[in-house]
Structure 1
């Protein structure tokens, strides 16, 4: 299986750190926490992270200071800023330092997940979108929309091909239901769930306990590759 994206949460509030760590872990992410900008720097010396969730208001070096230093050092890791400051000027200041997104506290957990997913997809390395996705005995040709199991073709509907393309392109990263739904569908969420269940019937040994195509609670679905 491919490794889940690793997120560094930086916030001086211990309660918020713990809540974010638990929530993001429950939704399929690896999470490391830091209580300050200095601690964040120390964490990054030995670990490669995919994204930083960063509080602005911290004692000493603020989130703005840390982000500015990262960008001046040509570090392009995605940064999602969190702040209790919700004024337009505050958001502009956060984005002006080089952060990729800004979310005001308090925020809806679902919105945090969606913003994280969007940032990870936008920052994905080119090789992450391969011509072929492999999981277990299956190989999926993304361009052709052709699924094979140990060389034998598995028949897919056009919607199932679309789903696998979207999930393969964001392998290891949760894809929201809204990104899989057909535009204008009134029952899009239910329709997506039905399509996912049908797809699982074709690629999972036990569809009720999926290994490759898993549900991310409160968000959507994620495809795990080998």
Structure 2
């Protein structure tokens, strides 16, 4: 078991299967995490009301409110990363989870090592808080501005919440404004462990456009470059 240092990421595991909850909790604790558990969405809400977490590992199929509904509601007020666990392997189910605001998904049954890799990959993408610095580097996207140093998106004085994956995409685009990036490159740079997730990238781009563009259906700043991928085109 890893030594406790006080800096361990705190995870919330939500699953209605008591055996799976216990196994995941023991496995993740052995690998250096603090772990709380909840048996359903209602209990998860009570736990989230009193504690802050670095990430939520959330089963989709639960009695009562399902994981996708809970994720969609959480996204209205929180950017805590969410990894969905689903027994459904259909593409539509995965895409529904991503559209709800999840950062990634894992189809049951899975190898514990793959879960660990996914969790660590998502946590690496979460922007770390930084001390305020003078004269921040800004990209202007109409009424929206992107602080390159902090990795923050603002509309006037109001911050725009970004999920971990959305924040990672903005960092990638901002590092090379005006340059097209292929879906393959974005999948690789996001650190996903399986390579065939280009459709998932399209979903993340759609969500990001809703936060940037005046008209997401006719994007001015996060453009599609035919045959090449996507490009950030600041003012």
Question: Which band: TM-score by shorter chain?
Answer: 0.5 to 0.7
Give the TM-score normalised by structure 2.
0.52
Q: In structure 1, what is the Cα distance between the partners aligned to 2:62 and 2:100?
A: 16
Give the 5 Å matches for 1:174-193. none
| 1:17 paired residue number | 21
Q: In structure 1, what is the Cα distance between the partners aligned to 2:70 and 2:94?
A: 16
**1:50 and 2:64 matched:** no
Question: 1:2: how far off?
Answer: 4.5
Give the TM-score normalised by structure 1.
0.55
Larger Rg: 1
Higher relative contact order (CA 8 A, sep 6+): 1
Q: In structure 1, what is the Cα distance between the partners aligned to 2:42 and 2:118?
A: 25
Question: Is there any run of 5+ residues in structure 1 with no aligned partner, and where?
Answer: 129-178, 180-226
**Counterpart selection for 2:72 from 61, 68, 71:** 68
**1:122 and 2:119 matched:** no
In structure 2, the residue corresponding to 1:25 is in which secondary structure? helix
| 2:98 paired residue number | 95
Question: 1:7: how far off?
Answer: 0.2
CA-based RMSD? 1.6
Give the 5 Å matches for 1:23-42. 23-42=27-46
Deviating 4+ runs (over 6 angstroms):
none
In structure 1, the residue corresponding to 2:130 is in which secondary structure? helix
In structure 1, the residue corresponding to 2:78 is in which secondary structure? coil
How many residues are treated as equivalent by the alignment?
128
Q: In structure 2, what is the Cα distance between the partners aligned to 1:7 and 1:50?
A: 6
**1:8 and 2:18 matched:** no
Q: Deviations along 1:83-119, whole A, 9 cap, x unmatched? A: 1001111111111111000000001111110110011
**1:86 and 2:86 matched:** no
